[in-house]
Each structure stands twice: as structure tokens, then as C-alpha cells.
Structure 1
Amino acid sequence: MGLPNTIKTAAQTLNQNSQIDVGSQKGVDLQIPRFDKNLEEFYSICDQIELHLKTSIKCLTQQESSNRYLHLPITTTRSEPLGLNDNNLPYPQFLATASAQVAYTKEIHDTLVAAAQNISPSD
């Protein structure tokens, strides 16, 4: 499906309509798929591609932020620290760090909302 079928259907419809206009063909002899349905499917696929690209960009941005603000690589193979290499962050510790960062961000947000309401109280 997609663009090749949309173009093929458009070409078939154009050809059939021109044959009817010239008079070499009467009415609708064979059923050609509707162009608007194929075009709608094509745009739907384009929308899905756009969403996937936006998600990929967000994932890359998140990875860049993670690398910038959390300098230790995360070890996902073992949950307990080995004590051999202190340059790796165990996954449970990473989850705790991420949870603390989210809680801190929520606390800052709530503080800013409360400050904005104190400055301009709603009537």
C-alpha cells in the first residue's frame, strides 16, 4: 500500500475516465479502487512516519540529557553492585536517582505555581 498504490489508482482512474470521455469505453466496466481511499491511507502512513520521527527525536534528546547530567554508564545486567568497578551505576540506583529527580522537579513546579498564585490571587 502507500504511495505506489495511490499513484497506480490515480493513473487507472485517469485512464478510465479519459476512455469514457473519448467514447471507447461505456460506463464502469471494471471496478478500480477509489483514489480518495488510497490517498487517505497514504496520508495516514505519512502521519505515522511523522510520529515515529518525533518520538525518535525525543528519545535522542532524552539520551543526550541523560549523558550530560548522569555521567556514569548504567549497568543493566546485574542488580547488585560488584564493587569491582565504581564507574557504573546499577539499574536500581539509576531508578532511585530518576525518581528523586522527578520528585524534585514536581516540587519546583508546585512551588512556582504556588508563588504565581500568591502574586496574582484569583478572584
Structure 2
Amino acid sequence: MIYIILYICRKGVDVQIPRFDKNLEEFYSICDQIELHLKTSLKCLTQQESSQKYLNLPVAPTKTESLGLNDNTLTYPQFLATATAQVAYTKEIHDTLVAAAQNISPSD
């Protein structure tokens, strides 16, 4: 391989030898992307486990109402309504805790 590069350089053709620092930077960039994908996968698995724990009914994969669904399946609109209610309830609890903390601590 070295002989080919030397031969090409003697003929007057410029050959760009890859720089180590650029390749190392690209390697670390790819490693960062892999790390982000793994973190996202872990969060998705955690969310799926929580979903199965707290909402143990399967959700229909289509947005429209389907007549062939059994009673143990949530439609997508029902799932959205449930998730919206859970978020609203969580926000209400958070606001209540913040108000209680402000009442306990003396304000300056």
C-alpha cells in the first residue's frame, strides 16, 4: 500500500492522507450518537414498563374507532383521554405541594 502511495506521489498526483484527529473526532461523534440512542432506548423501555404497570390494558394501534376490538382494549382516543387526565392530576398534585411548601416556609 505504501508503494502505491509513493508511486502516485511521484507521478504528481496529490493524495490526501486522512488525518488522525478528524477520524478520532468522527469516532467520538459516533460514540456520542450511540450513547444517546441507548439512553433513549432505556427511557422507552422504562416508559413501557410503567405503562404496563399502571395501565394494564392494551391500546389499539389505530387512531380510528374499530368495531372488532374486544372490551379489554383501549382505543386511541380513550388512551389520550386517560393520559391527559393523568397529566392534569399530576399537575394538580404538584401545584398543591408547591402551595403547601410556600405556606410552611416563611417568605422574606
TM-score, with normalisation over the residues of structure 2?
0.78
**Residues 67-117 of structure 1: CA deviation (Å, up to 9, x unaligned):** 111111111236225386211111100000001101111111111111111
Q: CA, structure 1 residues 44+83, in 2 after alignment: closer, same or farther (shift >3 Å)?
A: closer
In the alignment, what sits opposite 1:94?
79
Runs of 4+ in 1 over 4 A off after TM superposition: none
Is 1:41 the equivalent of 2:17? no
Matched-pair contact (CA < 8 Å) for 2:64–2:76: yes
Matched-pair contact (CA < 8 Å) for 2:59–2:76: yes
Answer yes or no: is 1:121 the counterpart of 2:85: no
> Unaligned 5+ residue runs, structure 1?
1-11, 13-28
Task: Identify the residue that residue 61 of structure 1 maps to in structure 2.
Answer: 46
- Structure 2 distance, partners of 1:114, 1:61, is 30
RMSD: 2.2
How do residues 71-90 of structure 1 correspond to structure 2 at under 5 angstroms? 71-77=56-62, 79-80=64-65, 82=67, 85-90=70-75
Q: 1:111 aligns with which of 93, 96, 100?
A: 96
How many residues align structurally?
A: 96
**Identical aligned pairs, as a percentage?**
84
Larger RCO: Structure 1 or Structure 2 (Cα < 8 Å, ≥ 6 residues apart)?
1
Q: Distance in 2 between matches of 1:52 and 1:90?
A: 30
Closer/same/farther in 2, CA of residues 90 and 84 from structure 1, 3 Å limit: closer
* TM norm structure 1: 0.69
